[in-house]
Structure 1
Amino acid sequence: MNNKHKISAKDITVVVQGPVQTFSDRPQETGITRKCLDSVRHFLPGAKIILSTWPNQDLTDLDYDQLVLCDDPGTNVRAYNVDGTPQTFNNNRQIVSTLSGLEQVTTPYAMKLRSDNYLISDAFLHLQQDFPKRCEQDRFFHEKVVVINTFTRRYAKGGPVVFHMSDFFYFGRTEDVIACWNMPLIDDFIATKDCPYNIGFPDYSIDCTQMLFIRAMQQFDQRFTLNGLLDNNPEKQIFSDRCFANNFVIADPQQVGVGLCRKFAEKARVSRTKGKVAHWQFKEWQQLYKKYCDPNFEIQYSIWEQCKLFLQRCLYVFPARIENKRRLQQRQKKVVLNNK
């Protein structure tokens, strides 16, 4: 049954989360939050805007409907470098500012948008409705949630990864978007003799996006677990793929209608070919959708396009596996030497 329907902007609340200026040593692109808010007014006239940010920010000339000021939870430590220095992240800040804003939403649909990104179209409205078919297995949401493929990686360090979902942009039913961020704050990692650097060592620590995704999805299924960035097997890959196909729509920022700040655009590695080809591509996601949700779905994905992507990965992605194997061996050796 096709349940596709037209979504009105009046049924949408956009939660713009994050700092609006330099905050705790995190520089912001000048005027980017105003550009973000103005883009929402332009492409979603009638939608409500909630700005979820921190106290003592300069809110001059910012156009929003509701302000949520969050208490700063500070940074969190997820791992230690081999030299003993901590790796600090803003994961708790992102959880707090996102969830605090989403909890104020009363409309049927919600968007989570970073304060340093912006809209360039309303294409996400159509994407959210264009792939309505579901399968019963690993069906966790009421409807599909649209995300961008920036940092939704298919490969990392040259190898395949699972549960690596971008944390930049979410659009869907409000209860589904809230579910993506409904998680407790992250406790600092405590080093021990048996686990001195990170969980899963000598494998790399799981990526921040993997961690956030896993913590959110564990409310539905405890199989969402990883021991390290490259923790993978055929069973986990199928589980991850089916979850992506059944609960999300993954496309590149331009296809979704999202503009990235300069930090992630222009000459940034993630926006160059070398970075892009490591991500899930929209047509690859469509292949998952056809496989798990709608066998009758027709994909316009030529052999030439598939071969081109494979060759690009042969050039930019797969060679890193050899270097990565050497690095993992070195990490293990350092632990042996330090324990002598």
Structure 2
Amino acid sequence: MMLTQDFSTGVAIADDDITLVFQGAWHPSLESNIVQSRTMFPGAKVIVSTLDSDPVLRPLGVDVDCVVSADPGALPPYKRDKRAPVNNVNRQIATSRAGLARVTTRYAIKIRTDCVLSSRACVEKYGHIASHPQARDRLLASSIYTLHPDGIEAFPFHLSDWFFFGPTELLRAYYDAPFMSDEDATWFEVGSEHARGSSYFARRYVARYTPEQYLAVDFAKRSGCYSTPSFINDSNAQIDAAYRRFLADQCIVCDPDELGLRFDKYAHAARSNYQFFNCLWGSDWRELCEQSGHTSPAFRLAVSSPSSHAPRGLSTVRHGQRAARRRAVVQTMRRLDFIFPLLRTTGLMPLVGDLLGFYRKL
């Protein structure tokens, strides 16, 4: 039996106290993903939670519990883009909620059916940071698509939904959200206008919130502890401070490599110059916690100390340099905002990536 020390209680997290919940549409790599992930967690339970509309339902073996839910259907694409995917947030809520409802273990990993865990790093990372009381009952999430408060898009309360690890009850609470309404899904298409000064990237959205935001905003709002945005790029000093506090109080944000998380479909995101300045990377989250005035010195020390799988974070000097570069990038992007529609129409948007690559190398 594999064990990982949970320093918050002085006992080890055993595999048989963890359930892997693979959530989403059936994927050709699902069986392989289960096998590989189980190699890392040989004693863990496995649940696959999918929808009755999936045409590829088939048995996965006696050790896999399959949960099938009624398909709530897709919402319209949440961006103005010919290639924009449909909005599947309600399908994510349905499958995540149903899968987590079947869990009987203290801890759970919520992971997409097209993702795989290549190590036990996520549990070891959680155990390392959970050695202090302020770290109890946190959501361990991926840095990619957790948006930085000072990033290019800067959409507040945007927490990546690829992967979560934490106490099962907390994950259930996170997904205890109502389905997104048709009104919210078409918020900027019917009746509402984008706020004055909204960036090109915000103006592309037709939904009131991104799928990631919708879940995080609902969870934060139910807690009664945070000022939350009323729409995708709604922000002021109070909301910005609340988002930073939410990240420091409720989350542990790590890069996929730190989690042992592999997501081949979005491998390009880790290399993207745009996402480099858009996302809250693990070193950024650690810096945010270290600068936080409402977390204890002991917790800030635990966050700054790398676990066995976590790469050592950027030095204070290097982080300061990256913060300065991010501010310069955001200012430049704001100045060039007027030209982005033309660049997209003419197929020249890759030039933006080249510009960001220049800043990244400074």
> What TM-score does the superposition give when structure 2 sets the normalisation length?
0.74
1:32 corresponds to 2:25: no
How many residues of Structure 1 are paired with residues of Structure 2 in the alignment?
308
Q: Among all aligned residue pairs of Structure 1 and Structure 2, give the percentage whose two residues are the same amino acid.
A: 23
Match of residue 94, structure 1, among 92, 95, 103 = 92
Q: Is the 8 A contact 2:23 2:50 kept in 1?
A: yes
Q: Is the 8 A contact 2:49 2:98 kept in 1?
A: yes
Match of residue 14, structure 1, among 20, 26, 30 = 20
Give CA deviations for 1:288-320 in whole Å, capped at 9, x if unaligned: 333232324343541443145236536755422
- CA change 1:241–1:98 in 2 (3 A) is same
| Structural mapping, 1:68-217, within 5 Å | 68-77=67-76, 88-132=86-130, 133=132, 143-154=137-148, 158-189=152-183, 196-197=189-190, 199=192, 201-202=194-195, 203=198, 204=202, 205-217=208-220
Structure 2 distance, partners of 1:33, 1:222, is 38
Name whichever of 37-46 and 276-285 sits farther off: 276-285
Hey, what does 1:333 align to over in structure 2?
none
- CA change 1:312–1:118 in 2 (3 A) is farther
**Unpaired segments ≥5 residues, structure 2:** 1-6, 203-207, 305-312, 342-362
Give CA deviations for 1:127-156 in whole Å, capped at 9, x if unaligned: 212223455xxxxx9512210111001158
Structure 1 distance, partners of 2:184, 2:104, is 39
RMSD over aligned CA atoms reads 3.3
Hey, what does 2:322 align to over in structure 1?
309
Give CA deviations for 1:78-120 in whole Å, capped at 9, x if unaligned: 768599xx98411111111111110111110111000001101
Q: Is the 8 A contact 1:17 1:114 kept in 2?
A: yes
Structure 1 distance, partners of 2:216, 2:332, is 27
Hey, what does 1:238 align to over in structure 2?
241
Structure 2 distance, partners of 1:198, 1:321, is 26
Aligned AA (1:123): A
Name whichever of 93-102 and 239-248 sits farther off: 239-248
Name whichever of 216-225 and 284-293 sits farther off: 216-225
Q: Is the 8 A contact 1:12 1:47 kept in 2?
A: yes
| SS state at 2:223 partner | coil
Give CA deviations for 1:2-37 in whole Å, capped at 9, x if unaligned: 54542111001111011114xxxxxxxxx3212221
Name whichever of 98-107 and 237-246 sits farther off: 237-246
Aligned AA (1:287): E
- CA change 1:206–1:195 in 2 (3 A) is closer
Q: Is the 8 A contact 1:78 1:189 kept in 2?
A: no
| SS state at 1:225 partner | coil
